[in-house]
Structure 1
Amino acid sequence: MEEEYIKLIFGLKLKQKRSEKNLSLFGLSKLSGLSKSYLNEIEKGKKYPKPDKISILSEKLDIPYDQMVSLKLDKNLAPIGEILKSKILKEIPLELFGIKESNLIDIVANAPAKVNAFISTIIEIAQNYNFSRESFYLASVRSFQEANNNYFDDIEQSVLAFAKAYQIDLMQPITSTELEEILIEEFGYTINQTELDKHQALDNLRSVFVPKTKTLLLANRMDEAQRTFIYAKELAYNFLEYKERLYTFSWIKFENFDQVLNNFYASYFAGALILPKEILTQKLNSLFSKKTFDENLFLDIIQSFNASPESFYQRLTNILPEEFNIQNLFFLRFTHRKDSEKFHLKKELHLSHQHSPTANETNEHYCRRWVSLNVLKEISTSKKDHIFDMQISNYPSDNMSYLILSSATKDPFREHYFRSISIGLLIDKQLKKKLNFLAHTKILKQDVGVTCERCAIKDCEVRQAPAIRLEIQAKNKQIELVVEDLKNRFS
């Protein structure tokens, strides 16, 4: 067992026992003859006392020596022990969120029993719902993005420095050829575009990097935009000098939080390189200034970059908050199999608000009035490569409305599978100010819910299930009213 863990456990126990005796650090210092600063360092897990000092503390606090040195925690401190043993605090760089590990432990250790019970509940829920370490890491990165409005200026500046160093013209579409040349000439890469396709088990992978020989294996089925993005990520790993990294795309597994975070940074770098901030901002200004929404112009803007629609929509979540002060937005990616009635929310990001469209783990039916699902239905019966649509979604239960832009494309790696990418912008004063066309364009307006099971919309023609969650709530409310009436009558 790690020495640091033993120190922390002993410190927590000492602090708890001292508090139970209503002793201050000063009081315990006078009682034991040990200095206040020394006792403070023990309680914070920085020092572990020698046996003679433990004997003194054991005697003065009237606690058996064996109990003092035991690693077993009582029920009030048990949740903290679970957190410490999981090593999760070591694997997540808490400094990213402005948190010191020692401060966090101190806060939890001083929490009342009810708070520790809450922590136990969270741990139990995570176990019961199979909330894995990977899920926790991804949720942490997503929270980090949201806390920073998904804009990272240091990465943006690194992209500009990279472009200058390698004489890349950011005003022109970037090609995979010029990025491949840099990987080979500058970083000693070998590119192999035949090996992956020989292995059927790897049919969902786009790339595998072998660090020992700097060999990048690529799936031959990738289009130009996908290949360019992968090359840009590899350049990010090298230019930013990230040692901890993932070796497959899409990822299969990761060992620590740094790999997940660096994967995000590398992806951000790639998006910022392929869709430069300056030129994208100019094009969006042109689109937003028009009195009516110009769909052809919007699609031309997407196609003017050597990027997939998903990369484009992702990049909007960086640019809109920073350059247009449009911070109340969300990003969604759904997947769908042809002839299926199931839609899976695989990726989401929410800035400023916890917006209504969120993933659910209860097998409920997402609202079929969402444009995100409608474009998937349309493309699954179409021969087109890209379907675009937009709508204004009104959430009556939240009294909020969003402008939703959505694109659907085929999944190049899975036959009969499709995906939709959507960005939702909260309609508020700021959005009306920035999007000139919002007041003039006749955009389809829809009252929507989150899931059918929680939706109060009457006579919905596309409802997939009754509003059982609302029915349960209404029944419970009725029970409350009857009980309250009985209490009043018989008081």
Structure 2
Amino acid sequence: MEQDYIKLIFGLKLKQIRTDRGLSLFGLSKLSGLSKSYLNEIEKGKKYPKPDKIAALSEHLEVPYDELVSLKLDKNLAPIGEILQSKLLKEIPLELFGIQESTLIDIISNAPVKVTAFISTIIEIAKNYNFSRENFFLASVRSFQEANYNYFEDIETAVLKFAKTYHIDLSNKITSQELEDILVEEFGYSINSHELEEHSELDNLRSIYVPKTKTLLITKSIDDAQRAFVYAKELAYNFLNITERLYTFSWIKFESFDEVLNNFYASYFAGALIIPKESIVANLKQLFEQQHFKAEDFELLLSKYNASPESVYQRLTNILPKEFKLKNLFFLRFSHQQGSDKFSLNKELHLEKQQSPRARETNEHYCRRWVSIKVLQAISANNSNHEFSMQISDYVAENKKYLVLASATKDPFKQNSYRSISIGIELNAQLQRKVNFVNNKSIESPHVGVTCERCGVINCSVRKSPPTILESMNKELKTSQIVKEITKKYSQ
């Protein structure tokens, strides 16, 4: 067991016992003969006392020696012990968020009971929502993206350096063969396109990398854009000298936070390589200059890159905040099985915390007026390869509007299953300055909610559930108002 953990536990127990006895640090110092500063260092987990000093503390606090040095914690401190022993604070690089581990330890040691109650609450919420360790890591990376407006200059620079090193013309569409040649010739990879096809259980995997022989097993069933993305991620791992990484795509299980973070870095590198910044910025400027939006113009933009629509939409979340100062945006990805009425939100990113389209609501119906849902309904009915639509979503309850673009495509790994990806940009003065067509009155602008259960839109023809949660909230508000009025009446 790590010495740091032992010191922290001893310090927490000593502080709890001291405060239970009603003693200040000064009082315990006088009682035990140990200096106040030394006791403070012990309680903060920075020092561990020698046996003779523990004996003195045991005697004057009237606590058995064995109980004082035991790592067993009572119910008030047990959750903190679980967090410390799980090495969670070491698994997540807190410095990414500008937090020092010592700061957290100080907070814990200064208010252990309150922090324990908070941690216990978080654990209970996680259990109720089936929140796994992987979910926690993914949420941490998402917060990291949001904190940086999903733009990372060092990776953008690394992509330009890579292109220069290997003489890649970023003004042309990059093919998978071009990237495969670099993997094979420069990094000694062997490419196997047959093995995965022989295992039906692996139909949801695009690739497996075997580091010992530098063999990349890649499925035949993916198109050239998907193959290029797999190759670009492998190049990222090599060019960025990333060793702690995942070996399957899509991922099966994360062993550490570094694997999750490095998977994100490699994916970012791949997107920035296949969809170069300079090129997409120029294309977006040309699109935004138009007075009237044409769907074919946006679809033409998508076709300029050897990338899936999802990769392009993801790239927009990097480019729009940095190059166009459009930071109030969100990204959503839904999945849908043909013939069902269920739409599952399985990926989201919000660059501003206050945005209303958050929607991981348990057992509720997402708003059928969302363009994200409409394109899924369209592709499911038409059995087409790609459906695109755009609207200005008016969130009446929040007094916010978003310009939302959405595409739906077939899921390459599931039969009769579809995905939609959408990006929403808040309709504000900055958007109106940057995008000419946003002021066009012909753009559909429906009133929307988040879920039917929380929506107050009257006479909605596509509502799937009555507004039960909204009604309950309004009833509670009304009850509170009446109680306040009665209290005021009888207080005079």
Q: Give 1:149 deviation, angstroms.
A: 0.4
- The answer to whether residue 270 in structure 2 is matched with residue 267 in structure 1 is no
- The answer to whether residue 51 in structure 2 is matched with residue 51 in structure 1 is yes
Q: Give 1:293 deviation, angstroms.
A: 1.6
In the superposition, relative to structure 1, how do residues 216 and 314 fare at CA in structure 2: closer, same or farther (>3 Å)? same
**Residue correspondence of structure 1 range 323-472 to structure 2 within 5 A:** 323-440=323-440, 442-472=442-472
Q: CA contact under 8 A between 1:287 and 1:294: conserved in structure 2?
A: no
Q: Give 1:283 deviation, angstroms.
A: 1.0
**Residue correspondence of structure 1 range 162-181 to structure 2 within 5 A:** 162-181=162-181
In the superposition, relative to structure 1, how do residues 481 and 440 fare at CA in structure 2: closer, same or farther (>3 Å)? closer
Q: CA contact under 8 A between 2:359 and 2:450: conserved in structure 1?
A: no
Whole-Å separation in 1 of the counterparts to 2:27 and 2:182: 67
Whole-Å separation in 1 of the counterparts to 2:419 and 2:363: 19
Superposition RMSD in Å: 1.9
Of 16-25 and 130-139, the range deviating more from structure 2: 16-25
Q: CA contact under 8 A between 2:12 and 2:112: conserved in structure 1?
A: no
Of 57-66 and 378-387, the range deviating more from structure 2: 57-66
Whole-Å separation in 1 of the counterparts to 2:87 and 2:141: 18
Please list every run of 5 or more consecutive structure 2 residues that lacks an aligned counterpart in the other structure. none
Paired residue type of 1:215: T
| TM-score, normalised with respect to structure 2 | 0.95
Q: 1:61 aligns to what?
A: 61
Paired residue type of 1:45: G
**Residue correspondence of structure 1 range 238-277 to structure 2 within 5 A:** 238-277=238-277
**Residue correspondence of structure 1 range 40-189 to structure 2 within 5 A:** 40-111=40-111, 113-189=113-189
Of 114-123 and 133-142, the range deviating more from structure 2: 114-123
In the superposition, relative to structure 1, how do residues 489 and 297 fare at CA in structure 2: closer, same or farther (>3 Å)? closer
Q: Give 1:126 deviation, angstroms.
A: 1.1
| TM-score, normalised with respect to structure 1 | 0.95
3-state DSSP of counterpart to 1:445: coil
Q: Give 1:346 deviation, angstroms.
A: 0.6
Whole-Å separation in 2 of the counterparts to 1:276 and 1:126: 39
Q: Give 1:106 deviation, angstroms.
A: 1.3
Of 303-312 and 19-28, the range deviating more from structure 2: 19-28
Q: 1:306 aligns to what?
A: 306
Deviations 1:173-210 (A, max 9, x none): 11111110110111111100011011010011111111
Whole-Å separation in 1 of the counterparts to 2:427 and 2:86: 43
Q: Give 1:486 deviation, angstroms.
A: 4.6
Q: Give 1:3 deviation, angstroms.
A: 3.2
Count of residue pairs brought into register by the alignment: 491
Whole-Å separation in 1 of the counterparts to 2:21 and 2:454: 51
Q: CA contact under 8 A between 2:371 and 2:406: conserved in structure 1?
A: yes
Q: Give 1:23 deviation, angstroms.
A: 5.3
3-state DSSP of counterpart to 1:424: strand
Q: Give 1:74 deviation, angstroms.
A: 3.6
3-state DSSP of counterpart to 1:397: helix
Q: CA contact under 8 A between 2:77 and 2:112: conserved in structure 1?
A: no
Whole-Å separation in 1 of the counterparts to 2:51 and 2:317: 57
Paired residue type of 2:467: A
Whole-Å separation in 2 of the counterparts to 1:161 and 1:280: 18
Deviations 1:424-463 (A, max 9, x none): 0001111111112212352100100000000011110000
Q: CA contact under 8 A between 2:402 and 2:425: conserved in structure 1?
A: yes
Whole-Å separation in 2 of the counterparts to 1:207 and 1:189: 13
Of 63-72 and 186-195, the range deviating more from structure 2: 63-72
Q: 2:281 aligns to what?
A: 281
3-state DSSP of counterpart to 2:367: coil
Please list every run of 5 or more consecutive structure 1 residues that lacks an aligned counterpart in the other structure. none
3-state DSSP of counterpart to 2:46: coil
Q: 2:200 aligns to what?
A: 200
Q: CA contact under 8 A between 1:385 and 1:410: conserved in structure 2?
A: yes
Paired residue type of 1:176: S
Q: Give 1:13 deviation, angstroms.
A: 1.8
Deviations 1:273-321 (A, max 9, x none): 0011111111111111122223222211111111100000000000000
Q: Give 1:15 deviation, angstroms.
A: 2.9
3-state DSSP of counterpart to 1:310: helix
Of 22-31 and 49-58, the range deviating more from structure 2: 22-31
Deviations 1:135-190 (A, max 9, x none): 00000000000000000111111111111111111111111111101101111111
Whole-Å separation in 2 of the counterparts to 1:46 and 1:416: 59
Paired residue type of 2:182: I
Paired residue type of 1:53: K
Of 61-70 and 245-254, the range deviating more from structure 2: 61-70
Whole-Å separation in 2 of the counterparts to 1:174 and 1:270: 11
Q: 2:290 aligns to what?
A: 290
Whole-Å separation in 2 of the counterparts to 1:486 and 1:25: 50
Deviations 1:320-366 (A, max 9, x none): 00001100000000000111100000100000233222232421000
Q: CA contact under 8 A between 2:43 and 2:109: conserved in structure 1?
A: no
Q: CA contact under 8 A between 1:328 and 1:353: conserved in structure 2?
A: no
Q: Give 1:99 deviation, angstroms.
A: 1.2
Q: CA contact under 8 A between 1:80 and 1:109: conserved in structure 2?
A: no
Q: Give 1:423 deviation, angstroms.
A: 0.1
Whole-Å separation in 1 of the counterparts to 2:29 and 2:180: 66
3-state DSSP of counterpart to 1:430: helix
Deviations 1:61-83 (A, max 9, x none): 34332332122334443332232
Whole-Å separation in 1 of the counterparts to 2:42 and 2:151: 41
Whole-Å separation in 1 of the counterparts to 2:115 and 2:107: 10
Paired residue type of 1:175: T
Whole-Å separation in 2 of the counterparts to 1:273 and 1:283: 16
Q: CA contact under 8 A between 1:77 and 1:109: conserved in structure 2?
A: no
Q: Give 1:479 deviation, angstroms.
A: 3.0
